[in-house]
């Protein structure tokens, strides 16, 4: 019985002798002596631990740093919301609290603090506030990319091998030649005819033949830009020449018509002069009478 009483007394002695510090303090042993030292309050950081009779030394957090709790450590750096990567600042950093970031609509966070967000491929970040899908005819192949128009294969005179999608550009083939064919039936036996067509781009001569009794020449209809300009200029010159010839013909017709109209008038004037003249015989008779 007395052993139990001794054990209880020893336990109470040890319990009352143990050092207990508040949440605003921390335990510190100096020269074998334990003591409770104060922690730095929120918004401040540790400069020097307590020592001897000196208390803990603290100082305010520097700009762009913070501490949220009682501590005996340094302040933490504030989070930076990267707007170029779809992160928006919802609350600015203060000495006692970190900044609060939020990802733009449609984006995906790259870290727990939402300081950087991804706009997936096939989409584009608009005004740094929302990530929207690329419009029809546009694509983006990487995250945080801009929507670019599909390649227009037809405008380049090439065949479209694969249509574009929101994440992939259209796939074009090599330069193609559009050909037209016509057939001429020969009078007799089978005829083999070789024709060549110049490639629209590479100048390669492709040989085609027909042995079924018909002529099938390949006529290239895809002209280069220079050929089209040359043809247009030639047609313009021919048009000017034809207009000049037509003008000359019309002028000659007008002159001919005027000449026909003036001929009867001249003839009438000449006839009038002859009818008013006195005959020669009557002139002599009048003179003799005088």
Is residue 127 within 8 A of residue 83, CB to CB? The reply is no
Of the segments 56-60, 181-185, 233-237, 250-254, which one has the largest average pLDDT value? 56-60
Q: What's the count of helices (H) and strands (E) in the chain, helices before strands?
A: 3, 20
Same domain, yes or no: 130 and 152: yes
pLDDT digits (tens, 9 = 90+) for 6-41: 444 444 344 445 678 898 988 888 777 888 999 999
CATH code (residue 41): 2.10.50.10
pLDDT digits (tens, 9 = 90+) for 148-196: 999 999 999 999 999 999 999 999 998 764 544 444 455 554 444 444 4
What is the token pair recorded at 67?
A: 């501490």
User: What is the total count of domains within the chain?
Assistant: 3
If you ran DSSP here, which 8-state letter would residue 84 be given? G
What is the extent of the structural domain holding 72?
24-77
Is 83 a domain residue?
A: no
- Looking at per-residue confidence, does 52 or 247 come out higher? 247
Same domain, yes or no: 69 and 54: yes
pLDDT value at residue 101: 96
d(CA 98, CA 42): 12
Is residue 85 within 8 A of residue 117, CB to CB? The reply is yes
Q: Which helix (H) or strand (E) holds 219?
A: strand 219-220
Q: What is the pTM of this model?
A: 0.45
Same domain, yes or no: 142 and 162: yes
pLDDT value at residue 63: 95
pLDDT digits (tens, 9 = 90+) for 93-124: 999 999 999 998 889 998 999 999 999 999 99
Residue 161's SS3 state is: strand
Is 254 a domain residue?
A: no
Is 102 a domain residue?
A: no
Closest CA to 38 of 20, 25, 19: 25
What's the pLDDT band for 205 if we cut at 50, 70, 90? very low
């Amino acid at each position: 019985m007395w052993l139990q009483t001794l054990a209880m007394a020893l336990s109470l002695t040890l319990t009352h002798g143990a050092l207990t510090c508040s949440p605003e303090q921390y335990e510190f042993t100096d020269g074998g002596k334990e003591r409770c030292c104060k922690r730095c309050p929120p918004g401040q950081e540790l400069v020097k631990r307590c020592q001897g009779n000196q208390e803990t030394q603290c100082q305010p957090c520097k700009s762009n740093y913070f501490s949220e709790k009682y501590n005996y450590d340094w302040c933490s750096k504030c989070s930076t919301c990267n707007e170029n990567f779809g992160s928006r600042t919802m609350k600015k950093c203060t000495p006692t609290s970190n900044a609060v970031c939020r990802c733009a609509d449609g984006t995906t966070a790259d870290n727990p603090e939402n300081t950087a967000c991804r706009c997936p491929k096939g989409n584009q970040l608009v005004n740094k506030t929302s990530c929207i899908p690329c419009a029809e005819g546009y694509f983006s192949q990487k995250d945080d990319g801009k929507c670019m128009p599909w390649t227009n294969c037809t405008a380049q005179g090439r065949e479209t091998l694969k249509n574009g999608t929101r994440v992939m550009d259209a796939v074009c083939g090599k330069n193609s030649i559009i050909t037209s064919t016509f057939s001429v039936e020969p009078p007799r036996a089978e005829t083999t005819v070789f024709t060549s067509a110049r490639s629209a781009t590479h100048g390669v001569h492709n040989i085609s033949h027909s042995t079924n009794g018909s002529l099938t020449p390949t006529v290239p209809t895809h002209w280069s830009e220079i050929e089209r300009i040359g043809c247009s200029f030639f047609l313009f010159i021919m048009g000017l020449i034809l207009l000049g010839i037509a003008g000359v013909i019309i002028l000659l017709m007008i002159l001919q018509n005027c000449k026909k109209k003036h001929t009867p008038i001249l003839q009438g004037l000449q006839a009038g002069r002859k009818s008013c003249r006195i005959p020669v015989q009557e002139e002599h008779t009048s003179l003799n009478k005088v």
